[in-house]
A and B are shown apart, each in its own frame.
Chain A
């Protein structure tokens, strides 16, 4: 059986130093009660917690009973700090605290939730205003008395924070963790340009500076005794443990100083002036969408749910918060351009929209026969064979470089079975539709292309009315495209569709911004609402200007091998065009009688400000990627943009001004206080002290210029040296008299006479003049 024995202190364990001296550490004096330090640590916890919380609440301008919260948090901070008074307090106290917090949490949960939601709602309102967003997250407040609910909630949350902060501060003074915890909650209001009040800012800064200070000086560890000093045998060091009174004084001084400096700064450069001159930083501008997503959708708003970010998602929608383009080549297309129209390569056709699942569904197997209608292509082929006017035949070679396996079908082609696997090349034959001629096509059952899910009907109806669409198919397409362009901005960063929301409804009713998939999906259902058979299509779209800029002319290839017949561009060379994910696109096909399924474009062009490489993620990626073309482009762009704009310069100027003013005021203040104190001391002093003060002052001035006087320790030596060096012009008698008076003033209890004082002061004054001269 193991027996535990109390460790007895052996003689060898005594703090014997080699010099034969024993430090009797157990006899250290009990200089200061421990509770003083604990009290201060409690106040420190309170300053940090209340400072951070007050900053947040004052920034959002929430109304609550601040005095109650102050009192509760002060008591909580002190209580938590006193838990470390001894082991029993710590164990029992934490249990008690846990019980109280649990009981309060259960009993006041409605108030706590409601108060928290009230603050969150206020913050959300500010956020909606800032982001200029119509959508707003709001939480149900259960308690009518908002002020009371917020007060209770803040008291509760504050107490929890005090417990956490106490663990960090009282025991280990870990300001490194305390800073992000306290400042972290403030970042979002600061992002929204909401500013906290100066009082709370001073509290928070005092708390953080004090924690940094105490940690830096290393005297923060607690013991269970009141011993003022402890001996560290290993380091051979005696360290003080408590300096509560001094810390209290320093804490008060730091708070007053912080408060005064903040006030001074706000007088010199007010919050209003700052806000007038405030400019939005580039980084903030670029991160706004990300932060908005985060605010709207939480953490998941920051992530994309599926990897393909180029718009080709096989009909899956809404999982992308932002499109991130890599600009790498997906396909290489060899063909001969024949018109200025866009060249589409179709890969996915969505027939049914599945609301809330947020995806387009292809046709079922048995229905695909209908979709596979290639009537128009057949008619165009027939026309080409008959050598009709404006008929032609083209050949397109598509090489899959890095795209998904699939069919990349040019319009009016009959090679629907030709799947292009990675690193493979497929050849398609197509018959361009360059004529206005219509054909007598087989009648199709178009009912399925008019289906609108019940869940979307109301939103589609409301939007259609709002857009004021009317007329035949061509007109509606034009009107819708126009309305989109005017009212709904195109963006690569629309944010992911929130959980349990429908993609199309969210786009039309709340978010009202998006990229091609948003516009095309909604347009498909809108066209159907107006009785226009429509379907959603995904693929690649290559613009004519892109071909003219990036297309490589293949001189070794014969035009005749690739194209035959009418061309709007005439006979030009064969072109090899790299197709990247930036060309990925979604569009709509509508069924036009006599022409069949015709692609229509409703997506508005992207704004100039859109640059997918400027979001936070891309910036982060660029930071760690090597220098490439893009990096070069970015650096060029950066060169054009000044790093510091006018606002920043203004702020920097004012900062420098305030710092200089503060330093000058401090120096001047110190000088004023010092001289006032000296004057006061001089007035209060008796004749002996007056003489000594004046004489010391004179010697101090001499000290600054002439070092030798430092080594002269008595009045005789000093006066003799001063006389020898002609600083004092005294005869032998006067010299002796001067020394005698000084010795009497310095050492005797007998006060010198007034005339003696005046006599020596006169000599000193003369000495000062000679010093000046």
Chain B
């Protein structure tokens, strides 16, 4: 249903009309100069008040800012909501912004309204202290501002589009990191070879460098000969890297626990300087999303990407089968999943 741009506030209007009527009635009976002057003021006041708010509604601006776009679960951050009024002669004592806060990952949402005052020619910022309790991508979205005139007689609706994203990532658990890192130690020959400084990964072809390719894949000798950077294209992930498969369940707490475990595992691997690839199923694409993680920023980005799709499209029963078909050269991988409420971490053979 289309909402009206101007909403009258009947009780306030009735109250004002009563005040006005009493004054007018008394003025009519007593024929007093004072009451006549009062009637003039009471006539002009609402006209001014409504004109001001109407002008303000045309020029007011809303913006939002978050000091950290990514926070750890349980951490605080400030969301700044800024109202800006460029007109010095307009003000409002009640300026309501209606915000929809959605968690795109868990597909939950809530609404909240913020009431602020805005003076003439200036900004008013509300620092909203928030804490991320659930993992996911939180979106703060405001589509309208409700501006009330000073006398409170009308409310004007202004359409806006203000959006602010905030990623809530799992919090680091040092003890957990130590535990999960052991899974990585000596798991593949890749790890051992890395220690020695060589790479046994199977090379399928040599091609030109594309921005984003890993430095260590560059074929330095060939590059020197051809005077352009050449890289070694490896066969999938055939044993070249550690692969971590994150199997997300539907249940909220279990999902959080799995993600937390995966995050700690990732941190642990990177702490041990073990690069790895993170796989997560995407039902919409009907394939695995693949994230190469060599440094912490990449892990963070990978989790942010995971949070962009709702958890409902991350679940599939046939992930193992698809893994075999999709990555035939992959001999083993590390799977993180949940079973009977507890998070499981297991090296699985891909044959």
Contacts and interface: CB of A to CB of B under 8 A. Distances in A.
Say whether A and B bind each other.
yes
A55 B127 CA distance: 45
B43 interface: yes
Contacts of B29: 281, 283-284
Interface stretch (B107-115, B173-181, B326-334): B107-115
Contacts of A28: 127, 129
Given A27-B76, A217-B152, A666 B48 contact: yes
B150 A217 contact: yes
Given A191-B30, A213-B93, A219-B117, A21 B138 contact: yes
Given A20-B106, A240-B115, A216 B33 contact: no
B316 to A, nearest CB: 24
Secondary structure call for the B interface: mixed
B271 interface: no
B328 to A, nearest CB: 39
A564 to B, nearest CB: 60
A648 interface: yes
B110 A17 contact: yes
Nearest to A651: B36
A261 B44 contact: yes
A243 B112 CA distance: 21
Interface residues of B, number: 65
A17 B30 contact: no
Contact of B94 (A219, A245, A666): A219
A254 B168 CA distance: 47
Contacts of B138: 19-21
A763 interface: no
Interface string A660-702: 0011001000100100010000000000000000000000000
Contact of A16 (B16, B40, B129, B133): B133
State the main secondary structure of chain A at its contact with B: helix
Interface in B26-42: 26, 28-41
Nearest to B153: A216
Interface string B15-33: 1100100000010111111
A9 to B, nearest CB: 15
Nearest to A200: B34
A658 B44 CA distance: 10
A261 B38 CA distance: 10
B324 interface: no
Contacts of B32: 190, 193, 195
B19 A179 contact: yes
Contacts of A195: 32-34
Contacts of A201: 34, 37-38
A659 B101 CA distance: 47
B151 A281 contact: no
A342 to B, nearest CB: 40
Contacts of A275: 33
A16 B88 CA distance: 38
A18 to B, nearest CB: 4
A236 B44 contact: no
B76 A237 contact: no
A655 interface: yes
A393 B44 CA distance: 78
Interface in B67-112: 76, 88-89, 91, 93-94, 101-103, 106, 108-112
A25 to B, nearest CB: 8
Given A20-B106, A24-B129, A250-B93, A659 B40 contact: yes
A385 interface: no
Contacts of A35: none
Contacts of B151: 209, 212-213, 216
Contact of A249 (B113, B114, B120): B120
Given A19-B110, A261-B41, A217 B34 contact: no
A655 B40 contact: yes
A667 to B, nearest CB: 9
B134 interface: yes
B47 A663 contact: yes
Contacts of B110: 17-19, 21, 236
B136 interface: yes
Contacts of B15: 176, 212
A228 to B, nearest CB: 8
For chain A, the bracket of interface size reads: 35 or more
Contact of B93 (A19, A246, A283): A246
A469 B63 CA distance: 95
A249 to B, nearest CB: 6
B120 A213 contact: no
B16 to A, nearest CB: 8
A627 to B, nearest CB: 23
Given A20-B132, A20-B138, A21-B138, A246 B119 contact: yes
Contacts of A673: 89
A238 B31 contact: no
Contacts of A186: 34
B129 A281 contact: no
A679 B103 CA distance: 48
A187 B26 contact: yes
Contact of B40 (A212, A250, A280, A658): A658
B119 A217 contact: no
B130 interface: yes
A55 to B, nearest CB: 7
A662 B40 CA distance: 10
Nearest to B100: A19
A190 B22 CA distance: 14
B45 interface: yes
B38 A22 contact: no
B130 A24 contact: yes
A659 B93 contact: no
B323 interface: no
A78 interface: no
A27 B129 contact: yes
Given A265-B40, A278-B31, A20 B152 contact: no
B128 A238 contact: yes
A308 interface: no
Contact of B115 (A29, A237, A245, A279): A237
Given A24-B131, A219-B117, A659-B40, A19 B103 contact: yes
A214 interface: yes
A258 interface: yes
B93 A217 contact: yes
A179 B15 CA distance: 12
A632 B36 CA distance: 33
Contact of A219 (B76, B93, B128): B93
B148 interface: yes
B134 A19 contact: yes
Nearest to A643: B28
A623 to B, nearest CB: 14
Given A20-B106, A201-B34, A236-B111, A250 B133 contact: no
B76 to A, nearest CB: 6
Given A25-B129, A246-B93, A261-B40, 20 more contacts: A18-B108, A20-B132, A20-B135, A20-B168, A23-B128, A187-B26, A190-B30, A195-B32, A195-B34, A201-B37, A205-B38, A236-B111, A236-B112, A240-B116, A243-B117, A261-B41, A262-B40, A281-B28, A648-B31, A658-B40
Interface of A: 16-25, 27-29, 55, 59, 176, 179, 186-187, 190-191, 193, 195-196, 198, 201, 205, 209, 212-219, 229, 235-240, 243, 245-247, 249-250, 257-258, 261-262, 265-266, 271, 274-275, 278-281, 283-284, 647-648, 651, 655, 658-659, 662-663, 666, 670, 673, 677
Interface of B: 12, 15-16, 19, 26, 28-41, 43-45, 47-48, 76, 88-89, 91, 93-94, 101-103, 106, 108-120, 126-136, 138, 148, 150-153, 168
**The 6 nearest A-B residue pairs measured at CB:** A216-B152, A20-B134, A17-B110, A217-B93, A27-B129, A24-B129
19 contacts: A18-B109, A19-B109, A20-B134, A21-B131, A27-B76, A216-B151, A217-B94, A217-B152, A219-B93, A237-B112, A237-B113, A238-B114, A246-B118, A266-B37, A281-B31, A283-B29, A651-B36, A666-B48, A673-B89
